[in-house]
């Protein structure tokens, strides 16, 4: 289904994985979801970057280990390009030393390749809504590393409202949910989020959520 601009009305998804069988399996399942549209595929990070810029997907399902430009390299490049797509890592690696760098590079979360299909669809919808998907053990690893010489701002630099918004980000709320909770417009919430990231010298919501947990700003 397309809207007046010709774009699909569902969540536009780009698949980036060097294994064709994996891409085919993901496409087969996702294409039966009424609210999800697979708009393209890429077999490595470089091709994924090009497709992301051309197709402007809402969510990218990205493998970490790929030939040439890997998933982490692609994430960093997408951040440099200010591409708005939310990236969900789909990986077979469970080691924190593999997953943590991907989250630091800007991923909105990660799932394992053996994930239940319905859970994958739910994860796509979740990151598209603005949520951050972190396993507890990986969140702890990130916090532990961030505590070593972090140069981010201090809690006192935030207004009371910004602290409220940050607490809700840490709780995994999307901008829409934060707006409803605080009786604000989504535009106002987006402004608060931008101010929070600027004041704390953070680059994305994942880092903001971790910063909030580390400093005790949670709901």
Q: Across residues 55-73, what is the average pLDDT? A: 93
Confidence of residue 104 (pLDDT cuts 50, 70, 90): confident
Beta strands in 48-196 (DSSP E): 59-62, 86-91, 109-112
Q: Is 65 helix (H, G, I), strand (E, B) or coil?
A: coil
pLDDT at 140: 60
Confidence of residue 4 (pLDDT cuts 50, 70, 90): very low
Running DSSP on this structure, what letter comes out for residue 2?
Answer: B
Confidence of residue 145 (pLDDT cuts 50, 70, 90): low
Task: Look up the pTM and report it.
Answer: 0.69
Q: Is 217 helix (H, G, I), strand (E, B) or coil?
A: coil
User: Which tens digit of pLDDT belongs to each residue from 47-57?
Assistant: 999 999 999 99
Q: Across residues 92-111, what is the average pLDDT? A: 78
Distance separating alpha carbons of residues 107 and 112, to the nearest angstrom: 14
Mean pLDDT for all residues in the chain: 83
What is the H or E stretch that residue 130 is in? none
Q: Across residues 10-15, what is the average pLDDT? A: 95
User: Which tens digit of pLDDT belongs to each residue from 108-132?
Assistant: 888 888 888 899 999 999 899 888 7
pLDDT at 130: 82
pLDDT at 77: 93
Task: Answer yes or no: is pLDDT of 64 > 50.
Answer: yes
User: Which tens digit of pLDDT belongs to each residue from 178-210?
Assistant: 999 999 999 999 999 989 988 888 877 877 887
Q: Across residues 88-101, what is the average pLDDT? A: 77
Beta strands in the chain (DSSP E): 11-16, 36-42, 59-62, 86-91, 109-112
Q: Across residues 4-18, what is the average pLDDT? A: 76
Q: The tokens of 145 are what?
A: 């590393």
pLDDT at 6: 44
């Amino acid at each position: 289904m397309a809207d007046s601009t010709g774009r699909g009305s569902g969540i536009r998804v780009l698949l980036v994985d060097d294994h064709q069988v994996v891409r085919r399996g993901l496409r087969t399942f996702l294409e039966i979801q009424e609210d999800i549209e697979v708009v393209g595929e890429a077999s490595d990070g470089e091709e994924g970057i090009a497709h992301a810029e051309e197709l402007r997907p809402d969510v990218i399902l990205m493998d970490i280990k790929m030939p040439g430009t890997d998933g982490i390299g692609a994430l960093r490049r997408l951040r440099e390009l200010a591409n708005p797509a939310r990236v969900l890592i789909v990986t077979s690696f469970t080691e924190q030393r593999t997953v943590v760098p991907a989250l630091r590079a800007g991923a909105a979360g990660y799932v394992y390749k053996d994930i239940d299909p319905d859970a994958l669809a739910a994860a796509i919808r979740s990151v598209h809504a603005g949520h951050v998907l972190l396993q507890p053990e990986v969140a702890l690893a990130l916090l532990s590393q961030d505590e070593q010489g972090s140069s981010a701002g201090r809690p006192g630099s935030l207004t009371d409202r910004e602290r409220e918004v940050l607490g809700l980000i840490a709780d995994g709320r999307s901008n829409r949910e934060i707006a409803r909770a605080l009786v604000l417009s989504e535009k106002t919430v987006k402004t608060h989020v931008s101010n929070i990231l600027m004041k704390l010298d953070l680059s994305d919501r994942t880092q903001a959520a971790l910063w909030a947990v580390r400093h005790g700003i949670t709901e």
